[in-house]
Structure 1
Amino acid sequence: MWRTLFVAALLVLAGCATEAPDNGAETGGSADQRALTSEQAPDRPNPWGERELTVAIDNTANESRNFRPLVSDALDFWANNSTRFAGFSIDYRLEPNASNPDIVVEFVENIEGCANVTDPAGCAPYVNHRGQVSRPISIEVVGSYSNESTRLILKHELGHTLGLNHSAGPQSVMAPSSPLTSLPRPNATERRLPWTDANFTVYLGANATDDPAAVREQVRHALDYYARGANGTVPERVSFEFVANRSEAEVVVSLADDLPCRSGDTGSCGRVRGVDPDSDGALERYDSLRITLGDIDTEAVGWHVGYWLGYGFGFENDSDWPAPFRDATYDDRRSEWWESE
């Protein structure tokens, strides 16, 4: 029996800071809104062999959450649209605790495997003829998505049990991927570590300077400072490794004649990119940090990089940064500030 899937396509957003990290973050991304197709599916035999199917629910993802209304909505959708899109009529009887159901909708924390695809949001068998029906058939749905997204996942997976593939209508339901929204999650700035792990790859583009070795040494001071915990402001065992390929780096430090965040060429900028799975307009996890240095003294490079590393760890208020980055003077920024622990 072929198993099919619904891939979660999380919106990728970006946050950008100019003069200070408490500036508003820029966000972007949009969902592709598609209307139901007007095409009528040709009549075809019901692969289930009967008009009414009994559906049960098994919730191991979140016992405090009531999924029944969402399942009911998805079943009603196909009861009203199966003739149009599947080519035969189907009805459902929802009995969450049914002892002998035709279909079991399983809400799980994660799906271990589904056609060898990473992180599917749902998984169901493709039922196209009677030989594929082995009751009860299970539909797996990750239980951490919002109500709206959960309804969409349920409709999609139920469509597969009616013999509909990813090219079938309605494409607003049966498309292989769609933007999904999770339940509310802590924002990146609310997490002690707003990254997937604490081991960072770093790319340094210092070709624009007359003394790349000195710039690299300054950047290394900033990285080592945070690797030592930055006076307890970041988790211990944070590590940084230089890489030669920019595309492989999570942290990119570059020098530029023009700063992307302001007019002029003096100062520095920092930008984080990541994901906003709950679509609240704030990133929940960072995937990359871009630090751009303008026309600053080599002796101040480490301080500027260190400041934006703090931004990359989710610092927002002045008090979040370790002491060397609070109210630093011109001379402070050019001192051996990393030895102030």
Structure 2
Amino acid sequence: MTARRSPLAPTLALAVLLVLAGCATPFVPTPTSPDSTTAGTNADTTPATDGVDDGSGGGTSNVTANPWGSDPVVVAVRNEGSRDRTFAPLVREAADFWEANDDRYLGFSVDYEVRPDAEEPDLVVAFTDDVPDCGDVSDAVGCAPLLTDPRQVDRPETVWVQTSLGNESTTLVAKHELGHTLGRTHADAPTSVMRAKSVIYTEPQPNATERAFPWDDTDFTVHVDAANASDPDGVVRQTDRALTYYEDDPPGMPDNLSFERVGSPGPDTEVRIRFGATSSCASSTGSCVESYGTDPDGDGAIETYTRIDVRLVGIDTDAVGWHVGYWLAHALGAEADAEKPPPFRDASYRERRGAWWE
């Protein structure tokens, strides 16, 4: 019987918590369950965006006058990061937002002149690979001073934005940080810009299926759900055959792989061997894989795997090791059968049940 491929299951995108002064602390949400879509496709995932509204919510700031005064605010744009990107149009978009909504949200008029190479700017929006320390927050994606009074302004003020974000997220962070320089806090409108929590996406990244090795490291923990197998001891022995095979550096596979079998699965267990069909892995006899991971660029596809479930349905005990080995090769970057180690290329019924690991 031919092993078949299941859909991948992307998780929520990398989210960040925007806090006072524009700093941000990232966290990765728990992976979602795989969607039951057509085999071989990636299921779309809609990011959670806690508390998004139409932009009219939030409190009213105590700021009653423009802390920058009545003259246009000259904004310079500096790219101090390693990425060759042009950020000025995104800063201009963020500035346009506040100019178009100044009466509604600020209670005073604001005008910006975005001149990337201005020699004596009022404000510098600096793009950097690593945002400097921003209060007590580490791993920030943006940082800006909260300015509510002209006496606080020390020209040129600097707003920091991380270079690795996608265009939409870069614009959102720039809007958020400019809002702080106009006296807006996280309690102020518009909530969709100034709220304390937002979903942030990175620049496009290679998908897991495009990477030579789609994991963060080469150390894996493995749980075998032997209690639900017809031959618990046999499937454990067979799984160990597959794990040992990969630890011995087979051709075409990453070096220095290590597998530790655990008695019960935990949140960090990367490989789970399970028995019985599911809605996304339905078959009367066969095997498939359910893949989990992160989607930091928000394209609906996994960029890095965090877990796989190898699911076996009606497989003879003496063929379990082969099926586990087949899907391990798939998860380790060998998408096509021709890329897999020799035992997993066009193996016959008998070969799958023989000593393929020798």
> Residues 110 and 288 of structure 1: is their aligned pair in 2 closer, same or farther, counting only changes over 3 Å?
farther
> Residues 299 and 18 of structure 1: is their aligned pair in 2 closer, same or farther, counting only changes over 3 Å?
farther
For residues 255-302 of structure 1, the C-alpha deviation after alignment (integer angstroms, 9 at most, x for no partner) is 334344344443222111122333333322112111222232222221
Shift of 1:315: 2.9
CA distance in 2, matches of 1:60, 1:116: 23
CA distance in 2, matches of 1:207, 1:84: 63
Segments of structure 2 that go 5 or more residues without pairing to the other structure are 1-19
- 1:24 aligned to which of 41, 66, 77: 41
Segments of structure 1 that go 5 or more residues without pairing to the other structure are none
1:85 has 2:105 as partner: yes
1:206 has 2:226 as partner: yes
State the identity as a percent. 40
* Match of residue 241 from structure 1: 260
Matched residue of 1:309: which SS? Answer: helix
CA distance in 2, matches of 1:133, 1:60: 23
> Residues 238 and 135 of structure 1: is their aligned pair in 2 closer, same or farther, counting only changes over 3 Å?
farther
Shift of 1:319: 0.9
* Match of residue 131 from structure 2: 111
* Match of residue 289 from structure 2: 270
* Match of residue 170 from structure 2: 150
Matched residue of 2:144: which SS? Answer: strand
Matched residue of 2:192: which SS? Answer: helix
Tell me the TM-score normalized by structure 1: 0.85
CA distance in 1, matches of 2:114, 2:321: 63
CA distance in 2, matches of 1:250, 1:302: 19
Q: CA contact under 8 A between 2:146 and 2:184: conserved in structure 1?
A: yes
Q: CA contact under 8 A between 1:149 and 1:181: conserved in structure 2?
A: yes
CA distance in 1, matches of 2:321, 2:199: 39
1:311 has 2:297 as partner: no
CA distance in 2, matches of 1:42, 1:4: 16
Q: How does 1:32-111 map to 2 (within 5 A)?
A: 32=49, 34-37=53-56, 41=60, 44-46=63-65, 48-51=67-70, 52-62=72-82, 64-111=84-131
CA distance in 2, matches of 1:18, 1:179: 25
> Residues 255 and 289 of structure 1: is their aligned pair in 2 closer, same or farther, counting only changes over 3 Å?
closer
Q: How does 1:177-188 map to 2 (within 5 A)?
A: 177-188=197-208
Between 162-171 and 132-141, report the one with greater CA deviation.
Answer: 132-141
RMSD: 3.1
Matched residue of 1:292: which SS? Answer: strand
CA distance in 2, matches of 1:325, 1:116: 52
Q: CA contact under 8 A between 2:66 and 2:109: conserved in structure 1?
A: no
Tell me the TM-score normalized by structure 2: 0.81
Instruction: Output the amino acid matched with 1:124.
Output: A
* Match of residue 225 from structure 1: 245
CA distance in 2, matches of 1:64, 1:76: 24
Instruction: Output the amino acid matched with 2:195.
Output: A
Between 5-14 and 330-339, report the one with greater CA deviation.
Answer: 5-14
- 1:285 aligned to which of 276, 279, 304: 304
Shift of 1:44: 2.8
CA distance in 2, matches of 1:127, 1:31: 31
> Residues 171 and 148 of structure 1: is their aligned pair in 2 closer, same or farther, counting only changes over 3 Å?
same
- 1:192 aligned to which of 212, 219, 231: 212
